Chain A
Amino acid sequence: MRKMAGYCAAGLALALASPASAELIDARSPKTIAALIESQGWQAEIDTPAGEPPFIKARRNGELFVAAFMNCTDGKNCKTLQFFFGFTDAKQVPLEKINEWNRDKRFARAYRDEEGDPVLAMDVDLDFRGLPRENVGELLNTWTGLMDSYRVFVRGE
């Protein structure tokens, strides 16, 4: 069975969750998402290019990922998120290895972009009223765990 380290413990908390009263987080407020990212020890900087959807640059210990707001109307009221990071100095990763990653890991997808750079991306639908805050927090934790694994995978360390 395919598994991802560190993920199984989540099931235990489920029984105690109280879904009815859960606070829901959607993709309308970059500030809310930035605060969630910062609560996990990252420095989050919101960028709002004129007429374009906002994105967040998150930094920690020299690492960088982007949380892009998507499915927006005039750059606002966004409905989905994409977490994204990649390498510009690791063009040697064979597609066989990338495929292996996509077979063995969950939640995010790995690919080589047009320049041959390895990228990792994870998409989250936060339409309607979004997901419970705890769920988004777990997804973010899963994402940063996958980033760590992908770095080792790409660098071969």
Chain B
Amino acid sequence: MLPIKSLSALAFTAALFAAAPAAAQTMSADPAAITAALKSRGMPVTQETDEDKNPVLQTQFGDGAKFTIYFYGCTDGVKCSSLQLHTLYSGSSATIEKMNQFNLDRRYGRGVMETNGDAGLRMDFNMAAGGMPRALFLDNIELWDELMSVFSDFIYE
């Protein structure tokens, strides 16, 4: 068996959030609910539609770091089952060797060299089968925020 590696967890940010209410509010992959959750932490959100008529959200963190939320498993553009957070960086020093190092060292998301040479960062969530409690979704957004910072520092160093 291989030793368990890549356990260098990101600093955990749970303390930033107040305790969950007794009846946890659960979210599905509904663009309106996702938009409301992001806006609750002061993030601007614009909704678009992709070529398959699935919803797409464009948003950014307070420092201006932009990312896109893709919706998957939709039926006629609604009742989607999962999300992918995705961001692209151009003009960095990223290589497939650096992406491998990032994916070895960090958790939750994955760094990718995109076909056009951009460096991409992606993270997926299953929002079906009962969905995800809102507090946990916001915690994941916090992890993603931190992952984006670490990733951009790494590829532009």
Chain A interfacial positions (CB closer than 8 Å to B): 1-3, 7-15, 17, 19-20, 22, 24, 55, 57, 64, 66, 68, 70-71, 79-80, 82, 84-86, 88, 95-96, 98-99, 102-103, 106-114, 117, 119, 121, 123, 125-135, 137-139, 142
Contacts and interface: CB of A to CB of B under 8 A. Distances in A.
A23 to B, nearest CB: 8
Given A3-B72, A110-B103, A125-B140, 9 more contacts: A1-B50, A96-B96, A98-B100, A99-B113, A103-B113, A109-B103, A128-B14, A128-B17, A128-B133
Interface string B103-118: 1100111111111000
A103 B118 CA distance: 12
A115 B54 CA distance: 41
Contact of A128 (B4, B122, B124, B136): B136
7 contacts: A2-B72, A2-B84, A8-B81, A11-B74, A103-B112, A129-B20, A131-B132
- Chain A, interface SS category: mixed
A103 B115 contact: yes
Contacts of B84: 2, 106
A71 B54 CA distance: 35
Given A138-B126, A142-B126, A14 B81 contact: yes
**Max chain B Cβ within 10 angstroms of own Cβ: one of A14, A102, A112, A129:** A14
Given A66-B4, A71-B12, A112 B100 contact: yes
B135 interface: yes
Interface stretch (B23-31, B41-49, B59-67): B23-31
Contacts of A113: 2, 5-6, 104
